Every structure is written in C-alpha cells, then in structure tokens.
A and B are shown apart, each in its own frame.
Chain A
Amino acid sequence: MKRPLLFLPLVIFILMGGIFWVGLGKEDKSTLPSPLIGKAFPTFELGVVEDGRVLTTDDLKGQPALVNVWATWCPTCKSEHQFLNQLSAEGIRIVGINYKDDSDKARAWLEQLGNPYDYNLSDPSGMLGLELGVYGAPETFLVDSQGIIRGKHVGDLNPRVWQTLEADFKAMK
C-alpha cells in the first residue's frame, strides 16, 4: 500500500531544520535593522562636551562622518576607543555623541584615552539618542556630507567590523 503521508513528518522536520539552521547562523540576533537608513540625521541643537559651544545639524554636514554614540559607563566603548583613535589618525572624521553621560567624566575620559572626535555632542537626557533609535551604546552611524544616514553598526568598532563598513564609508560623498 502506498502511504505518501508517512513521509510528511520527515519533510516537516527537514523544513524546520532548514529554517532553524538559517536562524542560528545569523550572526547577532539582538541587532535590529534601523529604519533610519536613507533618512536625514535628526535635527539637534546641543552643547559640545569639549568647549560648550552649541552646534546644530548643519555643523554635521559638509563632510562624511562616523557618528559614534558612547558613554563613560559603557565598557564596550572603552574597548573600541583605541580603534577609534586609529581611525581618526587615518583621517576619518568621527563625531561623538556623549550619550546619557556626565560631561566632566567624559572630558576626563578623553584626556586619559585620547580624543579621536572632531567634537562630542553632549546628550545627557538621551533624547538625540532616542531620535536615532539608539538602544545600547556603542552604536555608530555612517552619515554622508548631506547629513543623510547611510549605515549603522550596533556594538564596538574593530578591524573586523571596519572591513565590512570601510567600503560603504569611502563610497559616501
């Protein structure tokens, strides 16, 4: 007697196995896709950590930048800091957002570890972070000279991650 239904469980098993295999293979499930890519950087008017002058979205434009969201309470930010110094030395413009932090602590940190940033925007309430969909520091945005967000990386920057971002960064105008 022919019983094609007999093989149904096996087929279902293989299908589910395939789906789980792909799901488990994804590198980081906690990384959420950002809906902001291709959109303009949110408008802001914030003080600068280093010298207190007030900057707006217009000051961000003009030249492509990495916008790095960091804080002194964030251990991963410390581990990526040396790599940021290195990128800055290579001539890459990095703008910092000092996220939900204390400016005094931030200045001490920059003095001690070096300052790779063009400038750091102070965002003590985290409201610019909220506009950017930040849910955990460090996060880094690729922003072009027109102030359009072209990419986002959640987690620390390191040589391995930079390999995947560098081409996108260099392609920005």
Chain B
Amino acid sequence: MIILNAIRFTLLLSILFISPAWAVVEGYKYTFDNIEDTQRFNHLSENLRCPKCQNQNLADSNSPIASDLRSKVYELMQDGKSDDEIVDHLVARYGDFVRYTPEFRADTLLLWGGPAILFVLGLILIFNLRRRQATSAGLSEQEEARLKRLLTSTHPTSAKKDGSQ
C-alpha cells in the first residue's frame, strides 16, 4: 500500500516537471541526423521572434516570413553555424527585435535589473511598515492608560463612565 502510494505520489509530482513539448510549425520539413540538432532547431525556433507578428516565435507562427526564417535557420545549421552565429545573423538583418532573450548590455540594464530593483524596493517597504507597526500603535501615554482601563473593566457602564472623564 505504501509502495503504491509512493508510486502515485511520484507520478503526480512528475506532472509538475513536464515541460510542454512545443511542435514547430511545419517542423516535418526539416530533418536532422541526430536528436541534438533537432533540439537545437526547436530551441532556436522557440527563442527567435517572428518580425511580422509582434508576439509569436518562429516555431508558433504560420506567417510566410516566419517560414522563410525557419528555413534560414535550418540552412545556417546545415552550414555548421553555431547557435550564437545564427542568432547574430538574424539580428544583423532584423535587429534586436528577433531576440526573445535580450542581450545583456548597457542599454538593457534596466530591463534585466528592473525586477530585482522592484523586489528590493518592495522588501524595504514591507520592512519599514512592519517596524512602524511593531514600535507603536500611535497612542499617547494617557491614551494607553485609558485603553488599559477600558480593557480591564468588566462592567460596560462603568467603562463608559470612565471613558467620558
């Protein structure tokens, strides 16, 4: 029983780690000798952006230009070009727009660092709020004393009387 549960748990857990295997549009057109190259091709198609369709990668898009770029990627791979060379080749013609992962450069610093900066700002904000809450509820000494009396008095009318002094 325990073993069965363990198997069940492992199977369920494994669902968490499934990454969807995206098929490349018209991927059947491109055949490779080995699985590594097929994976490289899929990876490149998924990480290069179609210039015409604004927010689709080459793997997803049906547009003619995406099809042309897929065959260009294939052609460059057959020429023995590395992934970086292929990306650079397309960037030289279509600009940085075709990259889904922007290069780390001076003008992309904010893009890369922005989330971290916001995260740190958020931490500081939370820290400050917490500290303020912890130190005081904003009551004067007199008010604290009155609050104590109100809370300790059991009789509601006497509490009211006390409070109205």
Contact residue range for chain A?
A: 10 to 19
Q: Please report which residues of chain B, range 37-72, place their CB below 8 angstroms from some CB of chain A when the two chains form the complex.
A: 51-52, 54, 64-65, 68-69, 72
Give Cα distance in the complex from A31 to B64, angstroms: 18
Which residues in A have some Cβ–Cβ distance to B below 8 Å?
30, 32-36, 100, 126-127, 129-136
B95 touches A34 (CB 8 A): yes
Given A30-B54, A32-B51, decide whether A133 and B93 contact each other with a Cβ distance below 8 A. Answer: yes
B93 touches A132 (CB 8 A): yes
B52 touches A35 (CB 8 A): no
Give Cα distance in the complex from A100 to B63, angstroms: 13
Give which listed residue, B51, B68, B91, B94, contacts A126 with CB less than 8 A.
B68
How many A-B pairs fall under 8 Å by CB? 38
B65 touches A135 (CB 8 A): yes
Give Cα distance in the complex from A165 to B52, angstroms: 23
Given A30-B54, A32-B51, decide whether A131 and B65 contact each other with a Cβ distance below 8 A. Answer: no
Q: List, in ascending order, chain B residues with CB within 8 A of A34's CB.
A: 95
Interface flag for B92 (CB, 8 Å) = yes
Given A30-B54, A35-B92, A36-B93, decide whether A100 and B69 contact each other with a Cβ distance below 8 A. Answer: no
Give Cα distance in the complex from A32 to B95, angstroms: 8
